[in-house]
Amino acid sequence: MDARLIARWGTTAILLLFFIGLAVLTHGFTVLPSTYYMTGQSMAPTLVAGDWFLTRPLAGLPRRGELVVMKFQDGDSLFHVLRRAVGLPGDTVAMRDGLLWVSGRAPSWPARIVEPAASRTLDGPIAGTIYDWGPVVVGPDSVFLLSDTRDMIGWPDSRFHGAVPVNRLEDRMLFVLWGHARP
């Protein structure tokens, strides 16, 4: 082999190793997409149990109505939970008779109520019931998140835990990779 060819390949290999090391040290690989599996019905009708969806890392604030994955710590367990971003910093959010209001307007995002007669008093930072609460002004560097199934009890959204700090949001949903047939 020619000495110049060996030197060129050696230089290329060194540069490649340098950039790979730099990417790892600076978390350069955090721009890769992730896949998630929906385990429950909290985001129906948009996603149902058994759906697989693709996400990408969230940089900055999500858009209103966008589906985002948040980190939720429950005791020693860390969960990644998909929710809809309904309120951004400065927005006023409220719910009346199960209908969401964001800064005085009712958005057209998908939502459902399975048990209209179900009732539960909110026991977190927001006063009211699961269908009637607010108004709440979303604070700076926070996002108000809701499940699409409004009477879902037991999994976190902002009605139970307050607005979520932006640093707990990890990904934004891109699309469903594989899902079950919808009625």
CATH number at residue 157: 2.10.109.10
Cα angle 81-87-93, degrees, rounded to a multiple of 5: 115
Asked whether residue 183 is assigned to any structural domain, the reply reads no
Q: Where are the alpha helices (DSSP H) in the chain?
A: 3-25, 158-161
**pLDDT category of residue 183 using cuts at 50, 70 and 90:** very low
Domain containing residue 135: 32-178
Q: Which of 134, 36, 137, 144 is nearest to 84 (CA)?
A: 144
pLDDT, tens only, 134-167: 999 999 999 999 999 888 665 689 998 899 999 9
Residues 63 and 153: their CA atoms lie apart, in Å, by: 25
Q: Mark whether 11 and 89 lie in a shared domain.
A: no
Model pLDDT for residues 67-85, shown as the tens digit of each residue:
999 998 888 988 889 999 9
- Locate 167 and state its tokens: 């640093």
Same domain for 7 and 68? no
How many residues are given for the chain?
Answer: 183
Exposed/middle/buried for 140, CB within 10 Å: 0-12, 13-18, 19+? exposed
Residue tagged 């730099």 (tokens): 22
CA distances to 2, 3, 106, 152 from 7, in Å: 9, 6, 65, 63
